[in-house]
Structure 1
């Protein structure tokens, strides 16, 4: 249904162990869910966002990402973040204070593996004399989207990301944030080989056609609609709306 309606991509979120007693809904592990989606789709892109990178072992995650990119025929996008839920990070052996440094280093280590570098020597992860095959279909690797609303996240997106992902922002808030991202890009001198930063936003609720156009006007490339908490009838309405939006030339 998503492919027929004109959805550009299907996304799953990532949390492994959330605090007890907060009414958290059931959640499948992200990489397992994406493997299933890769098997039952053929055209729509697949995304994970945001994967909480510091609580993942980067050598294993690099292999999982490569495998999913191969199985899906090069349809994978990976959005990463540093995380913020301290009990979850602690349960995975990561301190809140280290999460930013781990995120940056893990990204570098994964890139080294995808580019078939034989060694990497970091503070948190190191390896030598190893390679991973097969390589991702998308070269040098699937698109990396960096999420977060902090100055550190903006710098990370500019330095290392193909895109940036913002959560729960209306068009006005998005425009303000994109101005800050632009200032960060000028200060950090974004690498030319990364191209223009692709902008992804999850709006506060399912948007209508006029709202979609307002997002497009401020520079948004992709909207991810959150379906959690929406009943089946409303989901059908969202799918119909996406078909209408696509029919008006907005993708």
Structure 2
């Protein structure tokens, strides 16, 4: 079992000193990965906390850590320009020494998508196409022709450290998300599910795998989950028995003065399970 930490891009963590200190604390506690979310413009009047932009936050985290993997998830792919995003993600992978994991989703906040020039109806089609366009750039293909993005006679250098590209994790609980995970992902990311619900999600993924052809080379689908609350040792073991490979602890709803204690407590759980995975980052 691997453990990640989600939320260092929000709330008081936008203070650079707090962000750096907690990132290093999590790394020393044995967390395998640090994850940030991707929202650019949320609806007004909903009490949204301050948050850093995902690419900028990960660049800072790459600079203040040395071993822990860095995850962006879920990046709302339809509202990102894929040629620019491919370059940003490559740059992050290079600057972090090959520690980047990319988790993508189609998005669900209609006002945010609209603000970036995307309709809710076309988000799925854009997600498929943008993934294909980014892969083309990472694999040095000089051209790509699609409905939403096209290019010809261009390449990007350098290439990602991780070849052919950083791991791609596909998030979401819909049938379409399960299909995208099977077709395109090295892994799948679920959010807020208890042990029984993750069993149901794995069954849905297995059903999608029976209907969709998984490309050679992707290997077995890795299961990542953010549970409803920080797990104790018994709960972590139950998730592991249910087939979860990585648990990502969410900081939202935890009082700021308790965050360091939560990081330390999960560190104890890490020590009691598989040990500090972050000391041997996966490729």
What TM-score bracket applies, with the shorter chain setting the length?
Answer: over 0.9
Instruction: Extract unaligned runs of 5+ from structure 1.
Output: none
Cα deviation, residue 100, structure 1: 0.2
**What TM-score do the two structures reach when normalised by structure 1?**
0.98
Of 195, 201, 210, the residue aligned with 1:186 is 210
C-alpha separation between the residues in 2 aligned to 1:58 and 1:43? Answer: 28
Of 124, 140, 152, the residue aligned with 1:100 is 124
Q: Give the number of the structure with larger relative contact order, counting CA–CA contacts within 8 Å between residues 6 or more apart.
A: 2
Cα deviation, residue 234, structure 1: 2.4
The residue that corresponds to 2:239 in the other structure is 215
C-alpha separation between the residues in 2 aligned to 1:196 and 1:70? Answer: 26
Of 129, 134, 138, the residue aligned with 2:153 is 129
Structure 2 counterpart SS, 1:194: coil
Instruction: Extract unaligned runs of 5+ from structure 2.
Output: 1-24, 278-283
C-alpha separation between the residues in 1 aligned to 2:183 and 2:213? Answer: 8
Cα deviation, residue 243, structure 1: 2.0
Cα deviation, residue 192, structure 1: 2.7
The residue that corresponds to 1:153 in the other structure is 177
Cα deviation, residue 228, structure 1: 2.1
C-alpha separation between the residues in 1 aligned to 2:134 and 2:69? Answer: 21
The residue that corresponds to 1:5 in the other structure is 29
Q: 1:167-202: CA deviations, max 9, x gaps?
A: 100111001110110111122132231000011000
Cα deviation, residue 3, structure 1: 1.2
Q: Does 1:50 align with 2:77?
A: no
The residue that corresponds to 2:226 in the other structure is 202
The residue that corresponds to 1:27 in the other structure is 51
C-alpha separation between the residues in 1 aligned to 2:209 and 2:97? Answer: 32
* Structure 2 contact 224–247 (Cα < 8 Å) conserved: yes
Structure 1 counterpart SS, 2:154: coil
Aligned length: 251
Structure 2 counterpart SS, 1:26: coil
C-alpha separation between the residues in 2 aligned to 1:85 and 1:158? Answer: 24
Q: 1:135-174: CA deviations, max 9, x gaps?
A: 0000000000000111000000000001000010011100
* Structure 2 contact 231–266 (Cα < 8 Å) conserved: no
Structure 1 counterpart SS, 2:231: coil
Cα deviation, residue 238, structure 1: 1.8
Structure 1 counterpart SS, 2:46: coil
Q: 1:33-53: CA deviations, max 9, x gaps?
A: 000000000000000000000
C-alpha separation between the residues in 2 aligned to 1:247 and 1:59? Answer: 41
Q: CA RMSD in A?
A: 0.9
Structure 1 counterpart SS, 2:158: coil
